[in-house]
Amino acid sequence: MKILITGGAGFIGSYLAGELLEKGNSVLAIDDLSTGKLDNIKHLKEYSGFSVKIDTIMNEKLMEKMVKECDIIYHLAAAVGVKYIIDNPLRSIETNVCGTEIVLRLASKYGRPILIASTSEVYGKNCKVPFKEEDDSVIGYSKLYRWSYACAKKLDEFLALAYFKEKKNPVVIARFFNTCGARQTGEYGMVVPRFVKQAILNQPITVFGDGKQKRCFSYVGDVVRGIMELMSNQKCYGEVFNLGNDKEISIEELAHKIKGMTNSKSPIHYVSYEDAYGDGFEDMQRRVPDLSKIKKFIGYSPKVDLHEMLGLIIKDFKA
What's the rounded Cα separation, in Å, for the pair 184 and 253?
A: 20
Q: How many CB atoms lie within 10 A of CB 152?
A: 25
Helix (H) or strand (E) holding 123: none
Active site residue 149: yes
Q: Are 77 and 94 in contact (CB under 8 A)?
A: no
Give the amino acid at 140.
G
Nearest Cα neighbor of 254 from 214, 304, 314, 308 is 214
The answer to whether the bond into 170 is cis (omega within 30° of 0) is no
Residue type, 228: M
205 to 3, 125, 270, 278: CA distances (angstroms)? 40, 26, 8, 19
Secondary structure (3-state) at 218: strand
Q: Which of 15, 84, 149, 188 is catalytic?
A: 149
- Residues 167, 48: Cα–Cα separation, whole Å: 35
SS3 268: strand
What amino acid positions are annotated as catalytic residues? 149
